[in-house]
């Protein structure tokens, strides 16, 4: 497993972060977040030979003590679950700024039946995690199967590349996009054909 950064680069970033946070006004609410955004937005990309999943991790420094955490997540492609029959696919909600989502459709027993819809927002403190991660792909797929509902799992922008309120704005864009299918003539066929917009819900975990 190979990383595309050198350890001394991370250590250098930590040292610079410590120096800058000490020199900034401690009463400033933006001192810490500015320093993190400028000096520790280290995004790592790597892959495991023989596996189709891509991987990404983000290096974060939770305190000026020099302790940092690397959060790793598997990114899975959309698929059809062989056990539950839940299908998933990725859609682009808006091109700029980019907002996308993974839609989960439970196994259809009656093509004429309309299904409830859940707009789902993943956790991660608006810093990490993904609608496409192994954790959320599997969890939301299971949720769609057990609730027998269409689930739209939103891939919203994360800090530091997309500071708050980007996560809220992206989620709002996703909700408006979802609502645009209420008349049955939206851009996404699964929603046009199967969604019951009298049973539209919003949910998620943490944030």
For residue 121, which of 161, 80, 170 has the smallest C-alpha distance? 170
* 3-state SS assignment for residue 66: coil
Residue 5 DSSP SS3: coil
Which residues lie below 8 Å from residue 50, measured CB to CB, with a gap of 6+? none
What's the confidence (pLDDT) of residue 10? Answer: 47
- pLDDT for 4-30, tens place per residue? 444 454 455 545 545 554 555 545 554
What domains can be seen in the chain, in order of their start residue? 7-75 (no CATH), 87-204 (3.40.50.1820)
pLDDT of residue 113: 93
Rounded to whole angstroms, the Cα distance separating 117 from 202 reads: 9
- Strand 115-121 and strand 87-95: pairing? unpaired
pLDDT score recorded for residue 1: 30
Q: What average pLDDT is seen over the chain?
A: 78
Angle separating helix axes 31-39 and 7-23, nearest 10 degrees: 160
**Range 112-141 average pLDDT:** 94
79-126: pLDDT as tens digits: 999 999 999 999 999 999 999 999 999 999 999 999 999 999 999 888
Q: pTM of this prediction?
A: 0.69
CA distances from 159 to 30, 33, 34, 56 (A): 14, 10, 11, 15
């Amino acid at each position: 497993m190979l990383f595309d950064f050198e350890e001394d680069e991370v250590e250098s970033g930590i040292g610079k972060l410590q120096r800058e946070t000490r020199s900034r006004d401690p009463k400033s609410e933006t001192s810490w977040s500015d320093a993190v955004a400028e000096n520790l937005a280290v995004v790592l990309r790597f892959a495991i030979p023989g596996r189709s999943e891509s991987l990404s991790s983000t290096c974060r420094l939770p305190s000026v003590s020099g302790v940092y955490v690397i959060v790793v997540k598997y990114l899975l492609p959309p698929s059809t679950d062989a056990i539950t029959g839940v299908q998933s696919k990725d859609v682009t909600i808006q091109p700029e700024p980019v907002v996308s989502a993974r839609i989960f459709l439970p196994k259809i027993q009656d093509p004429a039946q309309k299904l409830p819809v859940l707009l789902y927002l993943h956790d991660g403190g608006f810093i990490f995690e993904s609608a496409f991660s192994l954790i959320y792909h599997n969890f939301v797929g299971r949720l769609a199967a057990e609730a027998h509902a269409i689930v739209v799992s939103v891939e919203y922008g994360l800090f530091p590349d997309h500071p708050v309120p980007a996560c809220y704005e992206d989620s709002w864009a996703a909700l408006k996009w979802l609502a645009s299918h209420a008349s049955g003539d939206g851009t996404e066929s699964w929603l046009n054909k199967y969604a019951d917009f009298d049973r539209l819900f919003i949910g998620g975990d943490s944030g």
